[in-house]
Structure 1
Amino acid sequence: MLDKATKLLLVEDDEDDYILTCDYLEQLSSHTFDIEWISDPKQAVQLLSQNLHDICLLDYRLGASDGLAVLKQAVDNGFTGPIIMLTGQSNDELDSAALDAGAVDYLVKNEMSSSRFARSIRYALARRDIEDERIERLKAEAENRSKDRFLAHLSHELRTPLSSILGYTELLMQSEFSEHANNELGVIYRNGKHLLSLLNDVLDLSRIAADKLELSRSDVNLDSLMADVFTLMRVSALDKGLSLRFESLQPLPLVVNIDATRLRQILINIINNAIKFTEQGEIIVRAWTKVIDGTEMLFFSIKDSGMGIAPEKQALIFKPFEQIADVESRSVGGAGLGLAICSELLSRMQGGISLESAIGKGSEFTISLYPGNIQAVERGLLKLDLTPNMQQKTASCKVSGRVLVVDDLRDLRVLVGHMIASAGAKVDYAEHGKQALDKVAKAQQQGEPYDIVYLDIHMPVMGGKETAIELRKAGFTGAIIALTAATMKGIHSELTALGFNDVIGKPVDATLLYLCLQTYLADNSQNSPEVLPPVDSVQSKMRFLLVEDDADAAQITQLLLESLGVQTSIATSYEHCVAILKVDSNFDKVLLDMHLPDGSGLELAAYTKEHYPEISRVIVSGMQPEPLQLEQLNIEHVLLKPINLALLTQLIEGE
């Protein structure tokens, strides 16, 4: 197949020069030219303005006209191809003028038979090709930026209502109402999380394509993770009348070092597909470990009794946007992204995925991943304990005394109280600091003071730090023990200075709790701290300004923050935030939604940095902003929607 001819426009008013130029062009074996010849300058400008030619040879003298005027007008009108200026004699001044006007080269006509003419043509066309490639690259980059902006907007728009759905459900699950609707709330919460995972599929594919996807490995209780997956997928299986069975072929490591979110995503995706394409029978999920090339790997197989996949179609399902439904002409929904993402994720987890299937006999997916060094890890068969792993150890001590447990979360109050009661102490409860102060005062009046008060640090109404200060000011001499998830450097000395005797981290370790009971109930005379805080060291409650235009998202975030003891004000726009800060700038943090009706969170961050540098800035977004933007604005924290208690707790305790 011949190469496409190069379209060349020759603007020349001398017919002899036209014939000679055509002869010289025919001698260039590297290119084939489709030559269009015109002599009228106005017509030349019109043709060049259409930008239909690959290259132009333009004579300097066109009768009474000046070729430079044609050159400048053509460039101004949008001609993007290379233009070579031709003239009868050498002139350095003209050479410079032609190049300044936009020509790529300047040739004297008597040189056209030389190799310089050939080099000039080749160079001009090469420059055109490079420019075309540059333009295409810029187009592609612009399209990618447009796609990224669309994904960022889509992510934000979907994550904002999800924040309300998951946030309110989380609050209800922690309230007394949950006793009457615990199962229903669990279904809402789990399916809300699953909806979030579908959104994440789209974003994950974008990150994989840009090579920006990162894994977050941590130690994970394998049995709890499997129980979580089983609980969610069992509902879907029962809805279709299918049996879902999880089993381990051998004792499994109780703790593995993996990205739990990604493994859960992979298992849910494959199991969901198995349920989707199985009309009757069962889905069996098996787990085992096996040493491969000296490394012990974790394996899972998901086997169904469904329709099966033809051998020639099996490779397609691991490609993006390919659906099993399309392959088998079935009407089943899905984006066709799940298995492609699973394959990419498992590759990054040092594992892989394989498939065995036959039409009418079902399918079996087998996945493998590296679980960290599990050689010395304790092992056990899969139990699928559907409740959190809060089995209580038998009390290692026997004590007597009165203990007050103060925590706004009922489950944690009951858990700690049960452990204390099992050691023999009498336990009372309070939900927040003010209630604790009332109970302590009442107990002292009745002559039955508490020996120990266990205080959660972050509570609504009155937090643990403020409560400890007030207790000491009121004359309480018993032990005050902090319950906190904070592990940052200096927390122990800070709490001691506020009147605490000791600190127990969350989740509460039974051994430490019993040791604490034995220590402070054995000798109450030593319970007072060595240094009492002066009155002026009392720390006021943290204050946040939340800038969020979505009313539901703002309200649930405010409720969650205030449940953690943070006084929260709301601004609904850029201007509203500015107005509030002009009247009251005494805030510890300002939480800035990325998309506001009258500006962006980053623009508002720049404003607050300039006018209120003492306020810490936090960006709230559906997608991670560019690191350079965050660095320029000294933004250390980004909260990705949907916002939940865990994210806000980390934000508060990170101070």
Structure 2
Amino acid sequence: MLAKATRLLLVEDDEDDYVLTCDYLAQLSSHVFEIDWLSCPEEAIAVLSKNQHDICLLDYRLGASDGLMVLKKAVENGFNGPIIMLTGQSDDALDLAALDAGAVDYLVKSEMSSERFARAIRYALARRDVENERVERLKAEAENRSKDRFLAHLSHELRTPLTSILGYTELLMQSEFNLQAENELSVIYRNSQHLLSLLNDVLDLSKIAADKLELTSSDVNFDSLMADVYTLMHVSAVDKGLSLRFESQQALPLTIHVDATRLRQVLINIINNAIKFTEQGEIVVRAWTAWVNEREMLFFSIKDSGLGIAPDKQALIFKPFEQIADIESRSVGGAGLGLAICSELLNRMQGSIKLESKLGEGSEFTLSVYPGNIRHIERQMLAFDASPHLQQKPAPLDVSGRVLVVDDVKDIRVLVGHMIASSGAVVDYAEHGKAAIDKVHSAEQAEQSYDIIFIDIHMPIMGGKEATIELRKLGFQGPIIALTAANMKGIKSELSALGFNDMIAKPVDANQLYLSLEQFLSRGEKTEARQLTKSSAKPSAKATHLRFLLVEDDADAAQITQLLLESLAVETIIASSCEHCLAILKDDSAFDKVLLDMHLPDGDGLWLAEKIRHAYPSLGIVIVSGEEPELEKIKQLDIDQVLLKPINLALLNELI
């Protein structure tokens, strides 16, 4: 392939010198030159101003004019290529003047046959290439910064109204209005959550593109992680009349070292796609380990009996903004980002993803991740795929009392209830936190209070954490036991702080369940258990007399956040700007926390945080943001916490 010709402008009024210069340039084997020749200074300035040449050789003497004038005008008019000044004889003053005016070098015409001429040309062109690369790099960096600023602004602008939509919907779902509009409110809530998930996908992809996505690996209970995924996906499968099975034919490590959040995200995304594109049949999730290149890897396959993917589309589905929907499934939504993000995340977890699919027969995705060194980790046949069944060993104890079991998955409710009933207790059921609160209220009015509540953490309408806080506020003093697939570090202390007495990991182990019943419901010990619960339960928010200052310029977002906080008995004052906030604090600084929006009309949240930290060092400061602030700045300002919008009851509960 021929090298691209270098465009050279020779400004020279002597034809003999023009011919000689062309000869010398032809002898330079390193470059091919396309030479334009001008002798008129004015024409030279006009041509150079168009910036269409890679290099210029400029004679100092141009009739009555001098080349310095041409040089200065060309540079002023925007010519950014190298200019070499040609002189008849060496003159130190002239040489310095040429360099000061913008020339990259100067040559005496008598030296043009020497190596110095070739070296000067090569050096000038190399400098031009370096400068062009620098300009392109700066331009790309500026574009990336501009894109980052745009995405950060977009994130903030979208998350702020989502706070209002989700917040007001949550409040309505917990009010009497829910009785008349439960279906409509659920639609609003689900679609708002869907918008939020799409926004998170866009931001994840932008972080990956900017190489700013960080993984946080830790030791994870593998069985619990898979049970959590199963619990979340089972309801979606049942809603479509599909079977979802998790299985493994080999003993698997009890603990793996991964980023649990990101691995869960990948599995949920691909299983969710399988459910979306399958109208009948089943989705089977398998797990196994195998050695690859002297490392033991963890593999998953997700196989469905759905539409399948055409061969010509299989290469596209891992690219951003490509959707695998075809004409038969136009109703399936999404931005086409999920699989691209999964591919990148798996790559960062030292794994991969591949696809096998046939139209009309279904698809199978095979994933791999590096689970850390699992050579010496204990292994068992894990039970994450076990379908709940009612045949359980008889209870090893005899208890009495009334028990409420709360779980949105009917199979799990029935299973846990049957196990408890076999021990002698009377069992009642609720499908979510709101229903549980109603049941407790009705039971107390009928003077048939529940002695213990077993409640799932993750449920639609109202989760276990929110329900427990509300139950404690309403005065329920009996034991509340969390049923959760999350078994990460710190979860037990977090649940205890929210008012739970204990937790049982999913899948529910019968022995753990019986131990809990024995502790709280053994005959003759109910009174003691009640007293223990009363002393250990978290005080209600009303008893703590919390006061928050909320700094938020969006009136709707401020109002719903205030309502949510006040529903948790936190007195909340609103400031709409930095100036307003500082004025309130000057008159009254008796707040437990100040919640600062990142983008305010007269400054940003971090600037305001610095002012507050300096003037009121004992105040707790929480940043409320639609984007993730820089971690270094958060550490420097000793910020207590960062809440990512949209704000909801669960986040505020954790904050309190």
TM-score range, shorter chain: 0.7 to 0.9
Q: Structure 1, residues 152-202: CA drift from partner, whole Å, max 9, x if none?
A: 122222222222333334445556776887777666544433332222221
Kindly indicate whether residue 630 of structure 2 is the aligned counterpart of residue 626 of structure 1. yes
Counterpart of 2:549? Answer: 545
Kindly indicate whether residue 575 of structure 2 is the aligned counterpart of residue 571 of structure 1. yes
Kindly indicate whether residue 288 of structure 2 is the aligned counterpart of residue 284 of structure 1. no
Counterpart of 2:244? Answer: 246
Counterpart of 1:223? Answer: 227
Preserved contact between residue 161 and residue 552 of structure 1 (Cα < 8 Å)? yes
Structure 1 runs not aligned, ≥5 long: 238-242, 399-406, 423-428, 440-451, 456-483, 496-502, 530-538
Counterpart of 1:375? Answer: 378
Counterpart of 1:92? Answer: 92
Preserved contact between residue 504 and residue 513 of structure 1 (Cα < 8 Å)? no
CA distance in 1, matches of 2:271, 2:529: 57
Preserved contact between residue 589 and residue 616 of structure 1 (Cα < 8 Å)? yes
Partner residue of 2:566 out of 557, 562, 566: 562
Within 5 A, what are the aligned runs for 1:476-625?
487=493, 507=503, 541-609=545-613, 611-625=615-629
Shift of 1:100: 2.4
Shift of 1:45: 2.3
Preserved contact between residue 486 and residue 505 of structure 1 (Cα < 8 Å)? no
Partner residue of 1:638 out of 637, 642, 652: 642
Counterpart of 1:341? Answer: 341
Shift of 1:210: 2.4
Counterpart of 2:55? Answer: 55
TM-score normalized by the length of structure 2: 0.72
Partner residue of 1:648 out of 640, 647, 652: 652
SS at match of 1:266: helix
Counterpart of 1:533? Answer: none
Q: Structure 1, residues 45-87: CA drift from partner, whole Å, max 9, x if none?
A: 2222221211111222333434333322222221111111222
For residue 4 of structure 2, what is the amino acid of its counterpart? K
Counterpart of 1:465? Answer: none
SS at match of 2:242: strand
For residue 56 of structure 2, what is the amino acid of its counterpart? C
TM-score normalized by the length of structure 1: 0.72
CA distance in 2, matches of 1:334, 1:515: 48
For residue 246 of structure 1, what is the amino acid of its counterpart? L
CA distance in 2, matches of 1:520, 1:644: 36
Preserved contact between residue 487 and residue 505 of structure 1 (Cα < 8 Å)? no
Shift of 1:591: 2.1
RMSD after superposition = 4.8
Counterpart of 1:144? Answer: 144
Kindly indicate whether residue 187 of structure 2 is the aligned counterpart of residue 214 of structure 1. no
1:579 and 1:421, CA in 2 relative to 1: closer, same or farther beyond 3 A? closer
1:340 and 1:583, CA in 2 relative to 1: closer, same or farther beyond 3 A? same
SS at match of 1:318: coil
CA distance in 1, matches of 2:633, 2:47: 46
For residue 305 of structure 1, what is the amino acid of its counterpart? G
CA distance in 2, matches of 1:485, 1:567: 28
Counterpart of 1:68? Answer: 68
Kindly indicate whether residue 125 of structure 2 is the aligned counterpart of residue 125 of structure 1. yes
Preserved contact between residue 248 and residue 382 of structure 2 (Cα < 8 Å)? no
Percentage identity across paired residues of the two chains: 60
1:177 and 1:321, CA in 2 relative to 1: closer, same or farther beyond 3 A? closer
1:566 and 1:47, CA in 2 relative to 1: closer, same or farther beyond 3 A? same
For residue 227 of structure 1, what is the amino acid of its counterpart? T
1:606 and 1:86, CA in 2 relative to 1: closer, same or farther beyond 3 A? farther
Structure 2 runs not aligned, ≥5 long: 389-406, 425-432, 455-467, 481-489, 505-511, 536-542
Shift of 1:19: 2.6
Preserved contact between residue 174 and residue 410 of structure 1 (Cα < 8 Å)? no
Preserved contact between residue 233 and residue 268 of structure 1 (Cα < 8 Å)? no
CA distance in 2, matches of 1:160, 1:519: 50
Counterpart of 1:442? Answer: none
1:187 and 1:259, CA in 2 relative to 1: closer, same or farther beyond 3 A? farther
For residue 630 of structure 2, what is the amino acid of its counterpart? E
Q: Tell me how many residue pairs correspond in the alignment.
A: 569
Shift of 1:117: 0.8
CA distance in 1, matches of 2:156, 2:119: 55
Counterpart of 1:160? Answer: 160
CA distance in 2, matches of 1:554, 1:248: 44
Preserved contact between residue 12 and residue 62 of structure 1 (Cα < 8 Å)? yes
Counterpart of 2:484? Answer: none
Within 5 A, what are the aligned runs for 1:430-509?
487=493, 507=503
Counterpart of 1:357? Answer: 357
1:513 and 1:645, CA in 2 relative to 1: closer, same or farther beyond 3 A? farther
For residue 375 of structure 1, what is the amino acid of its counterpart? E
For residue 558 of structure 1, what is the amino acid of its counterpart? Q
Counterpart of 1:480? Answer: none
CA distance in 2, matches of 1:618, 1:430: 21
SS at match of 1:577: helix
1:154 and 1:23, CA in 2 relative to 1: closer, same or farther beyond 3 A? same
